Amino acid sequence: MPEFQSAYLIHGEDHGRVWERRGKLAALAEAGGGAGGTEQFDAAISDPAAVAAALSAMTFAIGWRFLIVAGCERWREADVKADLAAALAAMPEQTTIAFFACEDGRQQAPEALHKAVKALGGTIANEGVLKAKELPPWAIAQAKGLSITLDGAGAQALIAQVGDRQQRILRELEKLALEYGPGATIGVEEVSESAANSSELLVWGLVDAIVARDQRTALVTYLRLRDQNEDPGRLAVQIVRRLRDVTAIAQRLEAGASESQAAAGIAGGSWAVKKRLAEARGADPQLLREATEALAALELASRGGSALDPDTETLRVIERIAA
């Protein structure tokens, strides 16, 4: 069984990485915890007092006990101090508690939670998002760790092609390392030939499938995006933005506007606008509005507004609106 610390706090603005680490820890806990079991809490339905009560509750299970708590960015500093800090300080032996916080500018894991985890000698990891100027040097350093050399222009091209998510960049670097082998130098040409610019195309394909009411394709496409470590909350935002474009065009066409008038103000190149027009011609504006509203709710769900994890919530919504 792996050695676990008493407490972990995984937080930061890279939500995909936070969720990935939560999944990995949960899998390790379930594999190595024996009969002690794993208990999962979501801050949407559990506050610091509820977690403290669970910690203090007697259990007759045998083996290591794990408590995994998500959504801690929603907690208040005063509640952690009043309701949870003492329970953490008196935490039973053979117990591990792991806190996960998907942060942004407004919501952060309380400082009192940081202090409580430090007091237990636990691990605190910040999964932050690098600034744009920091990404090329980071990518070059990651390439070096994979025994390939990524030049500056190649780093810029890679980021432009696959996006700014660190997990996605690392995944593409791993593919490049496998393709070209140890010692290879990777520049713009190699990146252009090998690095898949598939995320953006898949998002468009997912919207196409939703508009066409092709449930199977929509679900498969979403799972492919998640396999690329795309964050559920970010995906929901992108899908909603594109659905709103199609909805706006469909409503204008229904009101009698010409195609050029209907497409006015729609972002993207001429190919993308033509694609949106083609989708809008045969679409039902009311169904599009309902789909957009349903998907917009996913942003709240991805921030802890649902008892379900973001993937389950998203799959259920896609299954419903693409039926």
Write down all domains in the chain, each with its CATH number in brackets.
Answer: 7-126 (3.40.50.300), 132-194 (1.10.8.60), 198-321 (1.20.272.10)
The gap between the terminal CA atoms of the chain, to the nearest Å, is 44
Give bridge partners of residue 125 from the DSSP assignment: 10
User: Which amino acid does the sequence have at 262?
Assistant: A
**What is the length of the chain?**
323
The per-residue b/e assignment along 271-295, b for 16 or more CB within 10 angstroms, e otherwise, is: eebebbbebbeebebeebeebbebb
Q: Which of 213, 265, 211 is nearest to 240 (CA)?
A: 211
| Alpha-carbon span 240 to 169, nearest angstrom | 24
pLDDT on residue 297:
67
Distance (Å, whole) CA 104 – CA 96: 26
DSSP string, 8-61: EEEEES-HHHHHHHHHHHHHHHHHH-GGG-EEEEETTT--HHHHHHHHHS----
SS3 202: helix
**CA–CA separation, 212 and 218 (whole Å):** 9
Closest CA to 243 of 206, 268, 207, 198: 207
> What distance in Å separates the CA atoms of residue 49 and residue 81, rounded to the nearest whole number?
10
Q: What is the pLDDT of residue 2?
A: 58
Residue 195 phi/psi, 5-degree rounding, is -80, 120
CA distances from 203 to 56, 141, 156, 220, 244 (A): 45, 29, 22, 12, 14
- What is the predicted pLDDT for the residue at 35? 45
Distances 225 to 56, 193, 301 between C-alpha atoms, Å: 40, 21, 18
**Cβ–Cβ under 8 Å, residues 9 and 112:** no
Tell me which amino acid residue 221 is: T
- Angstrom CA distances, 44 to 75, 78, 83, stand at 10, 17, 17
Tell which residue, 212, 240, 214, 235, has the closest CA to residue 224.
Answer: 235
pLDDT in tens, the chain (323 residues): 557 889 999 998 888 778 888 888 888 877 765 445 678 887 556 789 999 998 887 665 667 888 899 889 989 999 999 999 999 998 888 889 999 998 877 789 999 999 999 999 999 999 887 788 888 999 999 999 999 999 999 998 888 777 777 777 888 898 888 888 899 999 988 887 775 555 666 677 777 777 777 888 888 888 877 776 666 666 777 777 777 888 888 888 888 888 888 888 776 556 567 777 877 777 777 777 777 777 666 656 555 555 566 677 778 877 877 77
pLDDT score recorded for residue 36: 53
